Chains A and B, each alone.
Chain A
Amino acid sequence: MIPLELLRASRRGDQVSPRYLRELWPAEYVLGAYKPGMRLAEARAKVEDAPFEPKLARGLAHIVERTIALEEVDRRLLTKIRLEVFREAAKAYPVVDEEGRRRVVEAVASRLKIPPEAVEAALAKIHEDELVIVRGPDISAEELAALYNTSLIQTLLFRSRRMAAYVVADGARVKELVRALKGLGLMYVAERAGDGIRLDIDGPVSAIKQTERYGTRLAKLVPYVISADDWRIEADIGLYGKVYKFVEAKSSAPRLAHRDIEPPQFDSTAEEEFYRNVSRLCAVQREPEALVVGNRVFIPDFKIGDLYVEIVGFWTPDYIARKYEKLAAAKIPLLVLVDERLALATWKDLPHYVVLYKDRPRLSDVFKYIKPYCARH
């Protein structure tokens, strides 16, 4: 994804669409700017001189820079040398001419037993753009254009208020998409549509007011959507104080790139903490395979050895009721951690290990259940 200020989009009436890159030569130009042996600043200067729109050049450069390797420096050591220089200069303060400057650099060099040039290099190389490129970009112009065009869609969606994704794909793909959006804290309403399903996606606050709060998260769903057999995206985009419609579909889009699928995030801090604590001791699998319980899909939060773990937070009554039914019917070794504010006798009747927690689950309370299943990393 490229930053919003590098977005290139054109508006017509109430529609907005990305200005895709459909020629390869600008991509080739930017790829050519990053040559091994060059300082990053020099490559960037070439990008600034590109014979086409600066925004396009910078957008391409943004992607290319993720594919190159810079010389490795020990930033701690650089900082150490720099601080020596600043201290030495403070003794002779103020250092205002070339002669005084040279004396400071030499004094530090001889104290650290390195050549003066190494001191000068440390002063410079703390800045990323002073570093030398050691490996150039490893992608083709076609791939770069595809990555760029995908990023444009995503960056446009940064400003989206809601998004509808129509996908035709197998169950696993759809589940991946649904899981990703839930992991991002988004909400959806699904309906069957033609050969596929349509998901209307937004976030909790969207029911109360229009907000671009979820835009960056909606953008992260793009790789999941475009990997479907067929797809279509519709979104409301806020730009320049107006709301525009954005529509794109597999049939009309240029070639896109299917990279950048990010690992799902945690649903709650309780889950995140639990995972952090347990994974220090045992191998934990997050969001293990989907189980079928009754005729519904159930994906427990964690799996430790053969033991599944589900954390039940404080939530609305019917959500809890559904969860309870699923848990009651599941015939698997399962540890259920329940927020004590839900602490009602019925939980104790579950055919599983049940532990109540206050605020967040504590490892000391549950370790005896986990221990038999715990495999060291």
Chain B
Amino acid sequence: MGYYVKDVLYLVWDRGTVVLSGEVPAQVRSLSFIKFDNRVGKYRALGMYYYKIKAVLDSLGVGYEDGVLSPICRSVEAAKRPALRPYQEEALSSWLRGKRGVVVMPTGAGKTYVAIEAIARLGQSTLVVVPTIELLRQWERRLSEYFPGRVGVWYGEEKRELCITVTTYDSAYVAVEHLGNRYPLLVFDEVHHLPSESYRQIAELSPAPYRLGLTATPERADDLHLFLPELVGPVIYKMAISEAAGKYLAEFDVEVVKVGLSEEEMRRYKELEKIYKDYIRAKGLRFKSPSDFGKLVMLAGRSAEARRALEAWHEMRRILFESKGKVDAVADILKKHPDGKVLIFTEYTALAREVSRRYLIPEVTYDVPDQERELVMEMFRRGEVRALVTGRVLDEGVDVPDVDVVVILGGTSSSRQYIQRIGRALRLKPHKAKIYEVITARTREVDMSRRRRRGVS
């Protein structure tokens, strides 16, 4: 037909993959990540290998037509630039060397500004991926200060692409097939989420050559963080929480408040505990890490006994995390800090709802419409309300500048969740931050609390 030259090599984007057609050199065909696709009779690779394929072709001196990237904006200019602290500048210049990699900094140390300056220096269309809608709004607001009129969001009902688009891990997982090739730079906030089985595909299916990951805690209990170097790049800057405390972050005190279960709650708890423990003992199971717990879940798929044990475990948790004593304990803590800004975390939304109903403080959970959640966050930021109660929605990243009291009414034994939660109160302030952990005496929660605090101080 004459408008495509037969022996020229074409690189084309196809929904998360790069298709190579025409004359593919043998050295490229033999690359381990390139597969021949019988369905279309062409070679194909995951989007993430795009820059490697290009590097190989360039080193071979082979000419090719490249239609993979199709950036949404030709260039992105910042209206103003953030003033970076010395350690932020250090993190940035380390990233700029390879333009791939993970920056590890404690919550409150200003990771966002490192990313903003990275986008400004690179000047290319960028997709920012974050865990929650609260964080999406925060990034949108922050980015808009530096790139006014250039910041869009892509999630749920609102899909508006601009030079810099902020999206959630959930939305990006689905949309990467369509959006992937429009953004040469990917920024992953709270990048420890990325290596999970499904979210990992955002990095795998995107052809973005430039990648930046941000987190306070890259390690995962399931070791999947070992995939991060391949997906985003190596850790190129790391700052420990102890380096920042007192200088860039507030110091904090932890107080453990023990509450009792009511007689009725305790009776039920003991019953369930017996069902659970009898089963574990009979099967000789031992739980050392969270992945061991998966064994019980697997067994529950097969036997009714295991299923009962698992159900007992879930109900025990609910009793611990929702006990009435915990709701009562909140009153005493609120009274102790009449001038403080207080953030209360629960494990289950039912408890958040009860705390909200009883003390008339707003709840930020998925049970409440997005619009109310946004308005409430605004009010909290402006100081119009003094306390918030939330489930896991605010575990991470969201900036609530001058919180000085954090109350944890229930949580897992994960020290990451713990660090993230107390991190909400760690923005630098003249006085010490106060952390309360409310736990149920004489139950396994005492042990859970000990485990999550291990390795933090």
Bound together, the chains give a CA A127 to CA B338 distance in angstroms of 29
Chain A positions 78-109 with a Cβ under 8 Å from a chain B Cβ: 79, 82-83, 85-90, 93-97, 101, 104
Bound together, the chains give a CA A345 to CA B6 distance in angstroms of 17
Grouping DSSP codes into helix (H, G, I), strand (E, B) and loop, the B interface class, with mixed when no group exceeds half, is mixed
The answer to whether B19 has its CB under 8 Å from any CB of chain A is yes
Bound together, the chains give a CA A76 to CA B35 distance in angstroms of 53
Chain A positions 303-350 with a Cβ under 8 Å from a chain B Cβ: 314-318, 320-321, 324, 341-342, 344-347
Q: Cβ of B45 and Cβ of A316 under 8 Å apart? A: no
Shortest beta-carbon distance from A187 to chain B in Å: 6
Bound together, the chains give a CA A120 to CA B17 distance in angstroms of 54
Q: Cβ of A94 and Cβ of B338 under 8 Å apart? A: yes
The answer to whether A203 has its CB under 8 Å from any CB of chain B is yes
Interface stretch among A140-148, A206-214, A229-237? A206-214
Q: Cβ of A87 and Cβ of B44 under 8 Å apart? A: no
Q: Cβ of B372 and Cβ of A79 under 8 Å apart? A: yes
Chain B positions 330-351 with a Cβ under 8 Å from a chain A Cβ: 331, 334-335, 338
The answer to whether A359 has its CB under 8 Å from any CB of chain B is yes
Chain A positions within 8 Å of B379 at CB level: 83, 86-87
Q: Cβ of A83 and Cβ of B375 under 8 Å apart? A: yes
Shortest beta-carbon distance from A197 to chain B in Å: 16
Q: Cβ of B298 and Cβ of A86 under 8 Å apart? A: no
Q: Cβ of B21 and Cβ of A86 under 8 Å apart? A: no
Chain B positions within 8 Å of A82 at CB level: 362, 372
The answer to whether A364 has its CB under 8 Å from any CB of chain B is no
Contact of A127 with B1 at beta-carbon distance under 8 Å, contacts A101-B358, A316-B21 already known: no
Bound together, the chains give a CA A346 to CA B1 distance in angstroms of 8
Chain A positions within 8 Å of B338 at CB level: 93-94
Q: Cβ of B12 and Cβ of A314 under 8 Å apart? A: yes
Contact of A90 with B385 at beta-carbon distance under 8 Å, contacts A126-B369, A185-B177 already known: yes
Shortest beta-carbon distance from B353 to chain A in Å: 7
The answer to whether B16 has its CB under 8 Å from any CB of chain A is yes
The answer to whether A277 has its CB under 8 Å from any CB of chain B is no
Shortest beta-carbon distance from A57 to chain B in Å: 14
Q: Cβ of A94 and Cβ of B22 under 8 Å apart? A: no
Contact of A204 with B4 at beta-carbon distance under 8 Å, contacts A83-B379, A315-B12 already known: no
Chain A positions within 8 Å of B2 at CB level: 344, 346
Chain B positions within 8 Å of A97 at CB level: 331
Shortest beta-carbon distance from B91 to chain A in Å: 33
Contact of A123 with B375 at beta-carbon distance under 8 Å, contacts A205-B16, A321-B1 already known: no
Contact of B371 among A76, A90, A93, A204 (CB under 8 A): A76
The answer to whether B368 has its CB under 8 Å from any CB of chain A is yes
Q: Cβ of B178 and Cβ of A268 under 8 Å apart? A: yes
Q: Cβ of B375 and Cβ of A316 under 8 Å apart? A: no
Contact of A204 among B17, B21, B353 (CB under 8 A): B17
Bound together, the chains give a CA A176 to CA B243 distance in angstroms of 62
**Quick one: which of A96, A189, A269 has the most chain B CB within 10 A?**
A96
Contact of A94 with B39 at beta-carbon distance under 8 Å, contacts A79-B371, A79-B375 already known: no
Chain B positions within 8 Å of A76 at CB level: 371
Bound together, the chains give a CA A209 to CA B372 distance in angstroms of 42
The answer to whether A128 has its CB under 8 Å from any CB of chain B is yes
The answer to whether A135 has its CB under 8 Å from any CB of chain B is no
**Quick one: which of B4, B72, B331 has the most chain A CB within 10 A?**
B4
Q: Cβ of B16 and Cβ of A89 under 8 Å apart? A: no
Contact of A89 among B45, B360, B371 (CB under 8 A): B360
Chain A positions within 8 Å of B335 at CB level: 94, 96
Q: Cβ of B17 and Cβ of A208 under 8 Å apart? A: yes
Chain B positions 33-73 with a Cβ under 8 Å from a chain A Cβ: 33, 35-40, 42, 44-46, 67, 70, 72
Q: Cβ of A314 and Cβ of B385 under 8 Å apart? A: no
CB-based nearest B residue for A126: B368
Shortest beta-carbon distance from B155 to chain A in Å: 16
The answer to whether A175 has its CB under 8 Å from any CB of chain B is no
Chain B positions within 8 Å of A317 at CB level: 4, 6, 10, 21-22
Q: Cβ of A341 and Cβ of B361 under 8 Å apart? A: no
The answer to whether B90 has its CB under 8 Å from any CB of chain A is no
Contact of B360 among A75, A85, A127, A347 (CB under 8 A): A85
Chain B positions within 8 Å of A127 at CB level: 353, 367-368
Chain B positions within 8 Å of A208 at CB level: 17, 33, 35, 37, 44-46
Bound together, the chains give a CA A213 to CA B172 distance in angstroms of 13
Bound together, the chains give a CA A346 to CA B4 distance in angstroms of 10
How large, as a class, is the contact surface on chain A?
A: 35 or more
Bound together, the chains give a CA A76 to CA B301 distance in angstroms of 43
Contact of A94 with B38 at beta-carbon distance under 8 Å, contacts A79-B375, A83-B375 already known: no
Q: Cβ of A86 and Cβ of B385 under 8 Å apart? A: yes
Contact of A128 among B15, B16, B367, B376 (CB under 8 A): B367
The answer to whether B223 has its CB under 8 Å from any CB of chain A is no
Q: Cβ of B38 and Cβ of A90 under 8 Å apart? A: no
Chain B positions within 8 Å of A268 at CB level: 178
Q: Cβ of B369 and Cβ of A204 under 8 Å apart? A: no
**Quick one: which of A76, A128, A207, A344 has the most chain B CB within 10 A?**
A207
Q: Cβ of B12 and Cβ of A86 under 8 Å apart? A: no
Q: Cβ of A203 and Cβ of B12 under 8 Å apart? A: no
CB-based nearest B residue for A208: B35
Shortest beta-carbon distance from A15 to chain B in Å: 15
Contact of A359 with B70 at beta-carbon distance under 8 Å, contacts A126-B369, A315-B12, A317-B22 already known: yes
Contact of A203 among B10, B15, B331 (CB under 8 A): B15
The answer to whether B386 has its CB under 8 Å from any CB of chain A is yes
Q: Cβ of A101 and Cβ of B360 under 8 Å apart? A: yes
Q: Cβ of A86 and Cβ of B37 under 8 Å apart? A: no
The answer to whether B107 has its CB under 8 Å from any CB of chain A is no
Shortest beta-carbon distance from B384 to chain A in Å: 6
Contact of A269 with B178 at beta-carbon distance under 8 Å, contacts A95-B359, A128-B367, A315-B12 already known: yes
Shortest beta-carbon distance from B30 to chain A in Å: 15
Q: Cβ of B385 and Cβ of A87 under 8 Å apart? A: yes
Contact of A90 with B386 at beta-carbon distance under 8 Å, contacts A204-B17, A316-B40, A321-B4 already known: yes
Contact of A75 among B10, B178, B201, B369 (CB under 8 A): B369
CB-based nearest B residue for A202: B39
Chain B positions within 8 Å of A324 at CB level: 1, 3
CB-based nearest B residue for A108: B360
Contact of A90 with B384 at beta-carbon distance under 8 Å, contacts A185-B15, A207-B35 already known: yes
Contact of A96 with B331 at beta-carbon distance under 8 Å, contacts A316-B12, A317-B4, A317-B21 already known: yes
CB-based nearest A residue for B304: A53
Q: Cβ of B3 and Cβ of A345 under 8 Å apart? A: yes
Shortest beta-carbon distance from A208 to chain B in Å: 5
Chain A positions within 8 Å of B12 at CB level: 314-316
CB-based nearest B residue for A216: B174
Q: Cβ of A240 and Cβ of B301 under 8 Å apart? A: yes
Q: Which 7 A-B pairs rank lowest in CB-CB distance, beginning with the nearest?
A: A344-B3, A89-B360, A94-B334, A317-B4, A207-B37, A96-B331, A79-B372
Query: What are 11 A-B contacts defined by CB distance under 8 Å?
Result: A90-B386, A95-B359, A96-B331, A96-B334, A204-B14, A205-B17, A205-B201, A211-B201, A316-B12, A344-B3, A346-B2
A interface residues (Cβ-Cβ under 8 A, vs B): 75-76, 79, 82-83, 85-90, 93-97, 101, 104, 123-124, 126-128, 185, 187, 189, 203-205, 207-209, 211, 213, 240, 268-269, 314-318, 320-321, 324, 341-342, 344-347, 359
Beyond known contacts A93-B387, A240-B301: 6 more, CB 8 A cutoff:
A79-B372, A86-B376, A204-B44, A240-B298, A317-B4, A320-B4
